[in-house]
Amino acid sequence: MIRLIRAEFTKLATTRLIYGLGAAMAAFAVLTVAANILDRQGAPPLSADHFPMLVGGPVTLLSGAALLLGILGMTTEFRHQTVTQTFLVTPDRGRVVAAKLVAYPLAGIALSLAILAFTAALATGWLAAEEITPSLLDARLGRVLLGAVLAAGLCGLVGVGVAALVRNQVAALVGVAVWVLLVEGLLMSLLHTPSLGKWLPSAAAAALTNPGGAQLSRLAGALLLAGYALALALAGTRLVVRRDIT
């Protein structure tokens, strides 16, 4: 199992995707820090208190990046038919999916932590220029990081699960985008009650990335998202194991 997970990391490290995604996220981190510091009309003056908020700027997008990694980690195999070789090496397909369910969430977490470290360094530098010294021991910073790790890990899991179910790369990417941007919004307005809307996957993810504005507690959000991820992964694995690879 360990070697299968290592093989997934080798796959990830030997194409351009992860580097491009990392560069894009780093660029986005610069933007969020700049926007959060410069666009402060009517807000209290900048202080060390703002540090956790500055660091947490890219968290939502990072969970999206983890979702993308999960989806691509699975669908790329079908798109380029590398899945044939993968299943020749490991005919037990369940183990292949399991390795992906471990590898891509971990990759998403690693990417998130790297970008957040970069964001923290950036924010520290900017605040230092304003003669403010932030504290790395701020408890809120720990909560931001915990939320980011959980969100990235679980979104990566959801991504692998969705992709195992759909297999087609374009369909999986478009499907997820339409779901997040359109379907959930429609469901929200049709249900008319936010009390039901909060059980949707995006709301569960929001409880992790943006705990202040969400209606679920962080724990409930994490459990709910894990439940969605597990259901998708199980259904996807069943399909991948049974389908013919032609």
Contacts of 47 (CB under 8 A, 6+ apart): 132
- Least Å distance, CB 13 to other proteins, is 9
By CB under 8 A, tell whether 75 contacts other proteins: no
By CB under 8 A, tell whether 217 contacts other proteins: no
Q: Which of 44, 45, 91, 213 binds other proteins (CB under 8 A)?
A: 91
Q: How far is CA 244 from the centre of its chain?
A: 30
Q: What SS3 state is found at 45?
A: coil
Which of these ranges, 77-85, 123-131, 141-149, 184-192, lies near other proteins under the rule CB under 8 A?
A: 77-85
Contacts of 77 (CB under 8 A, 6+ apart): 83, 86
By CB under 8 A, tell whether 16 contacts other proteins: yes
Per-residue binder mask for other proteins (CB under 8 A), 92-111, x = binder: x-------------------
- Least Å distance, CB 103 to other proteins, is 12
Site for other proteins in 121-150 (CB under 8 A): none
Q: What SS3 state is found at 200?
A: coil
| 157 touches 233 (CB < 8 A) | yes
**Burial class of residue 208 in the structure, from the number of CB atoms within 10 Å of its CB (0-12 exposed, 13-18 middle, 19+ buried):** buried
Which of these ranges, 6-14, 29-37, 44-52, 60-68, lies near other proteins under the rule CB under 8 A?
A: 6-14
Q: At what angle do helices 93-129 and 82-89 cross, to 10 degrees?
A: 120
By CB under 8 A, tell whether 11 contacts other proteins: yes
DSSP string, 90-142: ---HHHHHHHHHHHHHHHHHHHHHHHHHHHHHHHHHHHHHTT----TT-HHHH
By CB under 8 A, tell whether 180 contacts other proteins: no
By CB under 8 A, tell whether 10 contacts other proteins: yes
By CB under 8 A, tell whether 112 contacts other proteins: no
By CB under 8 A, tell whether 90 contacts other proteins: yes
By CB under 8 A, tell whether 168 contacts other proteins: no
Query: Between the CA of residue 58 and those of 6, 28, 30, 134, what are the distances in Å?
Result: 28, 7, 9, 18
Q: Give the interface with other proteins as residue ranges (CB under 8 A).
A: 3-4, 6-7, 10-11, 14-17, 76, 80-92, 242, 244-246
